[in-house]
Amino acid sequence: MELQTLCVHGGINENDPTGAVEMPIYQTAMFRHHDIGEGGYDYSRQQNPTREKLEQLMAKLEHGREAIAFSSGMAAITCLMELFQPGDHLLATDDLYGGSIRLFRGVGEKNGLSFDFLDTSDLGMLAAKIRPETKAVFIETPTNPMMQVTDLRGAAKICREHNLLLFVDNTFLTPYLQNPLDLGADVVIHSGTKFLSGHNDTLAGFLVANDPKIMERLRYFYMSTGACLAPFDSWLLLRGIKTLGIRMERQQQNALALAQWLKRQSWVSRVLYVGLPEHPGYAVNADQSRGAGAMISFEVDSSTTALRLLRNVQLILFAESLGGTETLLTYPMTQTHADLPKEEREARGINDRLLRISVGLEDVNDLENDLLQAEKA
């Protein structure tokens, strides 16, 4: 089944005796049994038919054996960290979403783990940072918000040589544009809140893998800690994924046009979009994915210009998050990466002139006109 067709039909309810096409919302905490030892569902923290259908669809989309649906992307990453013991060491992309860095430092280190953050697009540096106690590598590609691209095949080769697990956050490109398991990753992470849901109306997270032993351990931690996705939210994700393909096609079309337009503006000093041929990761991204996605970061000529844009956009929404039908403008310095120390933020390029835009489904001419009027306000 082709990818677009799978998005549309993968969540259809094939076996309902009523003939209902859409998967019902099984809004129940528990399930009745008619005999001792009877199989089936027990308790919705452990499994629920609506969530199970969503997990089956996500596994198919990511070419994985199994998927687990969580109450948020951060809940998914938190569960992933339970694979490790005190004293274990992990390597991670230095330009991660700020919430991931906060989790690793504020919770992971408290629990005895250690982390080194580095530019994982430099495979030589990645290999050099591996220590005897290193157990895994955690990568975003493209990264949030500086749009660095890591060669996943190359990273996977290094991980195999050193017996390390490779985790890849695929939120930006989604399984519609990139499948990290096919490139050698062991676990794929998603914030389902973003493009998978696509409508800015629910929180969700996913872990997808092929190794049954890894998934057995993750599902044990998942059931024990209870960060499961609720039935109604599972249904919203099933609904959102139906239009994932057509949304991603339109949004990345808009993103390329907007990135090219931003390059021509005198008040823009730098545009970071992996779909531009001059982007340093363009060739790697083109080799390992089917598109560049809908995320752009750009730097303007002054903090005054950045604040003027944020305060005066009218159609574009000044808001955190990404991946919905509406275009969102975000200020990483005070929003997604506010918890990073100032020196660290600025060393990574996250300064008071940097803006991130999640391009939506609007007419791109309206987006350009909105930015123009905001810059002149």
Q: How far apart are CA 261 and CA 259, in angstroms?
A: 5
Query: Across the strands, what pairs with 69?
Result: 206
Closest among 159, 248, 158, 147 to 197, alpha carbons compared: 248
Sorted by sequence, the CB contacts under 8 Å of residue 69 that are 6+ apart come out as 51, 54, 55, 58, 192, 204, 205, 206, 228, 229, 234, 237
Sign of CA dihedral 155, 183, 249, 242: negative
| Start-to-end Cα distance in the chain | 50
Q: Examine the residue annotation and report whether 194 is marked as an active-site residue of this protein.
A: yes
Q: Which two tokens stand for residue 10?
A: 């993968």
Among residues 45, 65, 157, 239, the one annotated as catalytic is 45
C-beta separation of 255 from 273 below 8 A: yes
What is the CB neighbour count within 10 angstroms for residue 368? 15
Among residues 51, 135, 194, 345, the one annotated as catalytic is 194
Q: Examine the residue annotation and report whether 97 is marked as an active-site residue of this protein.
A: yes
DSSP for 72-117, please give it: SHHHHHHHHHTT--TT-EEEEETT--HHHHHHIIIIITTTT-EEEE
Q: Examine the residue annotation and report whether 220 is marked as an active-site residue of this protein.
A: no
Q: How far apart are CA 1 and CA 250, in angstroms?
A: 22
Closest among 144, 208, 155, 212 to 181, alpha carbons compared: 208
Among residues 88, 94, 95, 169, the one annotated as catalytic is 169
CA distances from 187 to 191, 215, 286, 344 (A): 14, 9, 21, 28
Q: Which two tokens stand for residue 176?
A: 């519609």
Among residues 26, 95, 97, 273, the one annotated as catalytic is 97
CA distances from 366 to 261, 270, 314, 371 (A): 12, 22, 10, 9
Sorted by sequence, the CB contacts under 8 Å of residue 346 that are 6+ apart come out as none
For residue 361, the SS3 value is: coil
Q: Which amino acid belongs to residue 223? A: M
Q: Examine the residue annotation and report whether 157 is marked as an active-site residue of this protein.
A: no
User: Hey, which residues are catalytic here?
Assistant: 45, 97, 169, 194
